[in-house]
Amino acid sequence: MRTFLFKRLPSGLAVLLAASFTVFLMLRLIPGDPATTLAGPDASPATVAAIRERLGLDAPLLSQYLRWLGQVLTGDLGPSYAIGGQVSELIGDGLAATFQLTLAALLLVVVLAVPTALYAVSARRRTLAGVLRALTTGALAVPPFVTGVVLVLVFAVGLGLLPAGGHASLFDAPDLAVQYLALPALCLALPSAAILARYLQDGLERALGEDYVRTATALGVPRRRILWRHALPNALPSAVTVLGLQIGQLIAGAVVVERIFAWPGLGQLIEQGVSRRDYPVVQDLLLLVVAGYVAVQLLTDLLYSWLDPRVRWE
């Protein structure tokens, strides 16, 4: 396990380095200039030039990139151009809310997907299994911004059971925080839960078609025990890999969901940064997302090797 970890770290660092250069270059290709945005529409060219010099935007692109990379490595992300305050503080405030939302959505993904897959496989009626498959297909096909609007109309406007948007701390008011968290977490979790349920269901069906299952059935072993003790452990490794990929989708999808439900996380922060051409905020946020995705994939591979003893990383 340790050997595998040390082998994967260089490739992960290479991905982060390539992602940092790509993010830096992409932001410079977007039309607009932070200095012009800060100076205002009526500013003179001299004023714009002075702001560019103060922000260091008049330096060559390579020098700007190396300076930013040094700030990332030292942990000193510097000040924001337009939003105000230190970038590290802005990210820290939004990261807690986004992590709360993503973790709640991840728990819902597992809670929704695993019972659905197990019930669809163990159901004796094919009609019921078809209905469950149709539901997972619908949850996967409908985009989150549509699902979010529907959830708000049904549970907030129509039934009045949950708030349409907002945020509360789990430590200060846990009961109120759960109410604010329910709809955005469900909206974020539905597509990933549908994907995981479909993959887990297919894996269980393949496992139940193996020869050892037929032998156990012929020996009189109950189907429920075969499903839980034999089929599910064999289907879990591939499902864990899919779940790891979906965590990246949850992080990316949080940007849209936070906008719908007025959730004060990194989604709103990155939107403000892009609209105001705040380079430090946007590039640090995007690099953070890539780093989180790389870390999740590494942990997923480690968990896969633990679940499947046939895998030999050496």
Would you say residue 3 has pLDDT above 70? no
Q: Supply the pLDDT for residue 125.
A: 61
**pLDDT tens, 104-114?**
898 998 898 88
Q: Supply the pLDDT for residue 305.
A: 67
Mean pLDDT, rounded, for 220-236: 77
Instruction: Quote the DSSP letter at residue 277.
Output: T
**Average pLDDT value over all residues in the chain:** 79
CA 179-135-109 angle, to 5 degrees, is 45
**pLDDT tens, 68-117?**
888 888 877 777 777 777 888 888 878 888 888 888 898 998 898 888 88
Q: Supply the pLDDT for residue 126.
A: 66
Would you say residue 311 has pLDDT above 70? no
Q: Supply the pLDDT for residue 313.
A: 46
Q: Which of 22, 84, 57 is nearest to 272 (CA)?
A: 84
**pLDDT tens, 243-293?**
877 887 787 788 778 888 888 888 778 877 777 777 888 888 888 888 887
- Using a pLDDT cut of 70, give the percent of the chain over it: 91
Burial of 241 (0-12, 13-18, 19+ CB in 10 A): middle
Instruction: Judge if pTM exceeds 0.95.
Output: no
Half-sphere exposure of 148 (CA within 13 A, CB side): 21
